[in-house]
Amino acid sequence: MRAAFLVAAKDLRVEGRTRDLVNAMLLLALLVLAVGLVAYHDLHERAVVASGVLWTAVVFASALASARSFANERDRGTLDVLLGAPADRGDIFLGKTIAHATLLLAVETAVLPLYAWLSPDLGGVALGTLAVIAVLATVGLAAAATILAAVATAARAREALVPVLLLPVAMPVVISAIHATTAAFEGAGLSEVAGEAALLAGFAIIVLALGWYLFEEVVA
């Protein structure tokens, strides 16, 4: 696990200097949220609409970030150096996932208050429930996006291919996250979304395990 945290720290340091990925993620998320606010402003089911738009923005931001991250590594030749390091390939996958999840959570933390402010009719939000759901869904989504970006990294249209691969795989996360987030926007406690939370946790564990096991074959 030490190697995984070193890889994550390296990716976050690089991003801290350039801010290329996080800026692109934030811009895309804000654009999706803006379109959602304009398109669905007259609907009465505000909590459902808000949840759907929010997680749509997160999925697309995740796909963009993963694709660009691996593309940059391969184009600079640093991916080969990283794979040649004396570390388990699975730990490299975990490190990439940790870094990606951290950036996603940062973007979510930035856009969610703004979205709630622009949608004052959401009602009382259960912040604790929302935080737990966001972490579980983000970890699963980051793990799926990381392994799929590794699969697509050698393709010419890799930045377009990752969303195509990610959306079907991430559908269980998106559906459960939307249901649970809708409940959180309506003030539901964590016990009321235990089923969705369990599904999100199970998805994250399964994808992390599969990614750790398959990453060496994918990047070989």
Q: Tell me the C-alpha distance between 203 and 209, whole Å.
A: 10
Q: At residue 188, what are phi and psi to the nearest 5 degrees?
A: -70, 145
Alpha-helical runs (H) found in the chain: 2-18, 20-39, 46-76, 78-83, 89-118, 127-152, 158-169, 171-185, 194-219
- Contact predicate 159/68, CB 8 Å: yes
pTM listed for this prediction: 0.87
Domain positions in the chain: 2-219
Predicted confidence at residue 116, as pLDDT, reads 66
Q: Tell me the C-alpha distance between 19 and 17, whole Å.
A: 6
Predicted confidence at residue 184, as pLDDT, reads 86
Instruction: Tell me which DSSP letter residue 129 carries.
Output: H
- Contact predicate 199/176, CB 8 Å: yes
Q: Which two tokens stand for residue 74?
A: 């391969």
CA distances from 210 to 79, 103, 131, 217 (A): 21, 22, 25, 11
Kindly give the confidence (pLDDT) of every residue in the chain, 220 residues in length, as a single tens digit, with 9 standing for 90 and above: 777 888 888 888 887 887 877 888 888 888 887 787 777 666 666 667 778 888 888 888 888 888 777 776 776 667 667 767 666 777 888 988 999 999 999 988 888 777 766 665 555 677 788 889 999 999 999 999 888 888 877 666 666 777 888 888 989 899 999 899 888 888 888 889 999 999 999 999 999 999 888 887 877 6
